[in-house]
Amino acid sequence: MREWVAVYKRGLALDNPLTVLMIGLCAVLAVSTKVEGAFFMGLAVIFVLGMSSVIVSSIRHLVPEKVRIPVFIVIIASFVTIVDLTMKAFLPDVYDFLGVWIPLIVVNCMILGRAEAFSYHKPVRLAIADGLGMGTGFTIVIVGLAFIRELFGSGEIVFLGARLLSLPAGYPAPGILVLFPGAFIVFGFIVALTGWYNRRTAGRTVETSAHCTIEEGGR
């Protein structure tokens, strides 16, 4: 059990897929204009990552080394299709907002990367912990980024039609935060902050580098 928790917690800060491993960034920068969209994107990723980790891990002895990548992709694509159709049926507004980013979860290198680097080699219960942990880490960062951008960029946070939080009237909202440069700049500061926090608490040098290059995405 302690091992399970340890694996789960790695995804939250030390090995956070977004701010430390730098994989699967595209969706985060794009959908973090609204807390609502970011939240459901996070849920979709937790579901796909958790389920694909379970399946990949449970068939790891049956899948030969050579065909593993196509097999992973088909498994991931099936779960993404489930999310795609479910969201279209029950949350049409969110679906329209997320648009092309739902099908793009398939090629999110975070999911393929975790299947390749973790689930394919580990027993099912640890694979679940890793999938859920990485998914939760993803959700925390994406919702946090969306929170900053929506609150300060538009002055209020609207979640499923209800206004949760708003800054006092007359606040001059800098619209640039909601536009695309805001995503890059705010995220840059979040990365710097996580790196600083990790160095402080763990006393561990964390390599922040764009990971989704030849070794992650390139098979």
Partner 1 sequence: METLQHFALLLVGGALVNNILLTRFIGICPFFGVSGAMETSVGMAGAVVFVMTLATTATWVFWNVLLEPLGVGEFLYIPAFILVIAALVQFVEMYLRKMSPALYRSLGIFLPLITTNCAVLATATESVRPGFFTMGVEYTFGFGEALVYTLGVAIGFGIALISFAALRERLEVAPVPEAMKGTPMAFITAGLLSFGYVGLGGLFGL
Which residues sit at the interface with partner 1, rule CB under 8 A?
22-27, 29-30, 70, 73-74, 77-78, 80-81, 84-85, 99-100, 103-104, 106-109, 112, 176, 179-185, 187-189, 191-192, 195-196, 208-214, 217-219
Report yes or no: 26 and 99 within 8 Å, Cβ to Cβ.
Answer: no
Residue 143 or 164 with smaller CB distance to partner 1:
143
Q: What's the token pair of residue 119? A: 């689930």
Report yes or no: 17 and 212 within 8 Å, Cβ to Cβ.
Answer: no
CB 26 → partner 1: shortest distance, Å? Answer: 4
At residue 165, the 3 state secondary structure works out as strand
Beta strands in the chain (DSSP E): 156-159, 162-166
CB 76 → partner 1: shortest distance, Å? Answer: 9
Q: What's the token pair of residue 17? A: 């897929």
CB 162 → partner 1: shortest distance, Å? Answer: 27
CB 140 → partner 1: shortest distance, Å? Answer: 18
Residue 2 or 200 with smaller CB distance to partner 1:
200
Residue 81 or 166 with smaller CB distance to partner 1:
81
Residue 109 or 146 with smaller CB distance to partner 1:
109
194 vs 177: CA distance, rounded Å: 20
Residue 22 or 129 with smaller CB distance to partner 1:
22
CB 125 → partner 1: shortest distance, Å? Answer: 28
Report yes or no: 9 and 126 within 8 Å, Cβ to Cβ.
Answer: no
CB 192 → partner 1: shortest distance, Å? Answer: 4
The DSSP bridge partners found for residue 43 are none
- Find all residues with CB under 8 Å of 13, minimum gap 6, and list them: 20, 137, 194, 197, 198
208 vs 219: CA distance, rounded Å: 22
Residue 121 or 219 with smaller CB distance to partner 1:
219
